[in-house]
Amino acid sequence: MTQATVRLGYIGAGGYSKRVLLPAFKKIPGVELVVIANSTPETSDAVAREFGFARTAADWRAVVDAKDIDAIVVGTRTETHYEMIPPILAAGRHVLSMNALCRNASQARELTALAAAHPNLVSLVYPAGGPAYFLREDAMMRHLIDDGYIGTVLQAANYWYAPFFGLGSMFEVGSRWFGRHTRLLGYRRGYSVEGATVPARPGRGAVRPETNIAMAELAEGGIITYQHSTVAGDTARARFEVIGAAGYVVVYAGTNATPGTFFGARRGASALEALPIPPEFAAGVNVEADFIAAIRGERQPARAVPRFDDAMRLLQFGEVWRESSEKGGWCDLP
């Protein structure tokens, strides 16, 4: 069967787009790269030449107004999305947004409502970059949960190490594995330790040493803790520890070159053992292929690819964590 052609417009193709998304789209049969608008004509021309876009556009509005495209990838900074996404949906274009969906939960509620008003359109948010997002480990963890290896989840703990907080991304992983969070307790502590300040990153400055913690209750009765450190260093690997009524699992996030590592033990065992990952659970998630397949009506995107309402809950979680950490008490989640 011949696959339907999907004609793609692109707004803001930066480094990650050129390194990851555009090469992935180029590999999908039937995807045409039609029009690109970057911040300058020079960068638009360069991307068009490198990846074979048919033409460039003077600005993002010209991409939205193009009559010969089916979908648009928004790769610009987060603060631009609240302006760009409504006219994209109004024009009848499928949309894949990079970075956070928008700046705050209030804006996200509006964009989620707009997406819901266009159920014929695919509206997705590209998952946070980096291996710590557990995209490659998603299918295996779901298998362990669904197969009863863990049983009812009693406790879960997430540890991640990065110069910047990124709590929402970790919450997105936790919520897709363990379900709805009902309330949380937030905590932040900074340190004055000689030599512990993380060096300045390009365009972002130095990062102060600190620990951030969120403890949340799960709707199904368990509890989950997210713990973040800015100073653990590059050797520390993000992980989830999950304690259930039937078993215990530890999953370490993989790297760009290797998949994650799973260890587990059934209730009553005396030691953890390495859990082999069956081939059907090792492939990970191909966001670009899922986006195109959803547009063609071939399949739904993997649950690891956030919808707009997922992105809204992510922002809500971050805002409630901030409120809780400032007042020093539990806060209910929407």
| Domains of the chain with CATH codes | 6-127+286-302 (3.40.50.720), 131-284+316-327 (3.30.360.10)
- Give me the pLDDT at residue 255, please: 73
- Give me the pLDDT at residue 17, please: 95
CA distances in angstroms from 270 to 238, 263, 264, 288, listed in the order given: 24, 13, 11, 43
Which burial class, exposed, middle or buried, applies to 143 when counting CB atoms under 10 A from its CB (0-12, 13-18, 19+)? Answer: middle
Find residue 33's DSSP bridge partners. Answer: 8
- Give me the pLDDT at residue 165, please: 81
d(C-alpha 173, C-alpha 99), whole Å: 16
Detail the DSSP E strand segments found in 116-268: 123-125, 153-161, 181-190, 198-201, 205-207, 210-218, 223-229, 239-244, 247-252, 261-266
Q: pLDDT truncated to tens, each residue of the chain (334 aa)?
A: 357 999 999 999 999 999 999 999 999 999 999 999 999 999 999 999 999 999 999 999 999 999 999 999 999 999 999 999 999 999 999 999 998 999 999 999 999 999 999 999 999 999 876 666 888 899 999 999 999 999 999 999 999 888 778 888 899 999 999 999 999 999 999 887 665 556 555 555 667 788 999 999 999 999 999 999 888 766 788 899 999 999 999 999 887 667 789 999 999 999 999 999 999 998 888 999 999 999 999 999 999 999 999 999 999 999 999 999 999 999 999 9
3-state secondary structure 293-328: HHHHCCCCCCCCCCEHHHHHHHHHHHHHHHHHHHHC
Please give the helix or strand (H or E) that residue 33 lies within, else none: strand 31-37
- Give me the pLDDT at residue 1, please: 39
d(C-alpha 232, C-alpha 179), whole Å: 29
Among 319, 306, 331, 291, residue whose Cα is nearest residue 133 = 306
Among 60, 82, 57, residue whose Cα is nearest residue 73 = 60
Please answer whether residues 57 and 37 qualify as being in contact, where contact means their C-beta atoms are separated by less than 8 angstroms: yes
Alpha-helical runs (H) found in 52-104? 60-65, 81-90
- Give me the pLDDT at residue 44, please: 97
- Determine the 3-state secondary structure of 251 from DSSP: strand
φ, ψ for residue 11, nearest 5 deg:
-120, 110
